Amino acid sequence: MVLSAAGQHLLRVSRPGAWGQHLLRVSRPGAWGHHLLRVSRPGAWGQHLLRGIGSVSTTAKGFQEKEIREKLQAFPGGSIDLVKQESGIAVLTVNNPARMNAFSGSMMVELEERVSQLEEWTEGKGLIVQGAAGTFCSGSDLNVVRDISNPQDGMKMCMFMQNVLTRLLRLPLLSVALVEGSALGGGAELTTACDFRLMVPGGMIRFVHKHMGLVPGWGGAARLVRIVGSQNALKMLGGALKVDPEMGLQIGLADGVLEGSLDGSGANALLEAEQWLGCYTTGPASVIRAIKNVVVSGRELPLEVALRTERDVFGTVWGGPANLQALASKAKHK
Ligand SMILES: CCC(=O)SCCNC(=O)CCNC(=O)[C@H](O)C(C)(C)COP(=O)(O)OP(=O)(O)OC[C@H]1O[C@@H](n2cnc3c(N)ncnc32)[C@H](O)[C@@H]1OP(=O)(O)O
């Protein structure tokens, strides 16, 4: 795969240790300008991003990814279930209730497979990520964590999950994390890999990493800063704060609070989340997916590249069936 200059730049900074060097490099006067100039083929990176990134790390692909997968498969348990619905909204369920939906190694691999399936789902418009049996996800399975506590294995798992969650967030689907019960550690990180978070009363998002002698490694800190700002992120990580629905709304982590289960089955919360999401996914898939794509490029790419990508995406809907139908119906927007 040939990457544009911007793509190569992003991949380069994703190598452990390279970011520090990058910071030093861009801190020289004019270096950032050079970077912008190096982004000489903006369309290529934008297209690459919109096609769905295979990997955010140079070394998480190829035989090394195979090695990581094999390692993770050695820790079985639970499942990641995917239901694609006629409505264009899919439901992804983290399913390991005996361990409060903690991620076993095989579940990490399954998550990658489900994300691949969603990348191929061209009719899709929305995605709800939930936990089974009334709770969201308690992060990594601590039994796995203990068994791979050496730095090499930890780094491999971290790269694998960073890659998967980055691809999850970049899907051309409007995604919602439905937080019922607790989202702890990696579970909290998973909520930030969705576009929106809906919380049920009694629900909690908590980055407990500090209490585990860790920091987030699945990309959760980088995404959290973009969602709530660095001040709030510092408080959440530094204090391992319990973010309940009220605080979630206050700091912009939660996008809504649902009524929740009537019978403890989680069915009502899911219905409510589908209704909430339906407000944003009503319409043709081509348009909804284009909306997500322009927002992803605006969020992730340098302005010049994002503008070029926006033009490319615009070209996919201009004069398209939905556009022509709207023109023919002389739609008024009162
Ligand atoms: C990426 C970095 C990470 O994610 S590090 C992992 C961060 N997560 C944690 O440390 C969660 C630790 N667990 C807890 O704090 C509690 O179990 C929570 C989730 C609050 C639930 O408490 P409570 O309702 O009292 O249930 P419980 O403790 O009896 O748990 C039920 C069974 O589930 C298990 N469980 C829970 N979390 C995990 C986990 N992350 N990994 C493995 N097992 C987990 C508990 O051990 C318990 O199992 P058992 O019934 O004792 O066999």
Which pLDDT score is estimated for 22? 43
pLDDT for the residue 51: 56
- State the sign of the Cα–Cα–Cα–Cα dihedral 222, 119, 299, 269: negative
Alpha-carbon Rg for the chain in angstroms: 20
Distance 216 CA to ligand 1 centre (A): 17
pTM: 0.88
Burial class (CB in 10 A: 0-12, 13-18, 19+), 29: exposed
Residues of the chain below pLDDT 50 = 1-16, 19-42, 52-55, 57-63
Q: How many CB atoms lie within 10 A of CB 122?
A: 9
Residue 262 CB contacts under 8 Å (≥ 6 apart), including other chains: 268
Centroid of ligand 1 to alpha carbon of 307 (angstroms): 45
**How far apart are the CA of 144 and the centre of ligand 1, in A?**
12
**Do 286 and 326 touch, CB atoms closer than 8 A?**
no
pLDDT value at residue 19: 42
The per-residue pLDDT for 298 is 98
Nearest CA to ligand 1 atom 38: 99
Q: Two tokens at 260?
A: 């929740």
CA 81 / ligand 1 centre spacing (Å): 21
Beta strands in the chain (DSSP E): 79-84, 89-95, 126-131, 174-179, 182-184, 196-199, 204-206, 256-257
Quick one: which H or E segment has residue 287? helix 285-300
Ligand 1 mutation pick, 100, 108, 144, 149, max ligand atoms within 8 A of CB: 100
Distance CA 282, CA 126 (A): 10
The alpha carbon of 135 and the centre of ligand 1 are apart by a number of angstroms equal to: 11
Tell me the per-residue pLDDT of 85-101, one tens digit each, with 9 for 90 and over.
999 999 999 999 999 99
Under a CB-based contact definition with an 8 Å cutoff, are residues 196 and 78 in contact? no
Q: 138 CA distance to ligand 1 centroid (A)?
A: 6
The residues lining ligand 1, judged by C-beta closer than 6 Å to any ligand atom, are 99-100, 102, 138-143, 145, 182, 184-186, 208-209, 212, 214
Q: Which of 94, 106, 142 to mutate to test the pocket of ligand 1 (most atoms within 8 A of CB)?
A: 142
Residue nearest to atom 26 of ligand 1 (CA): 100
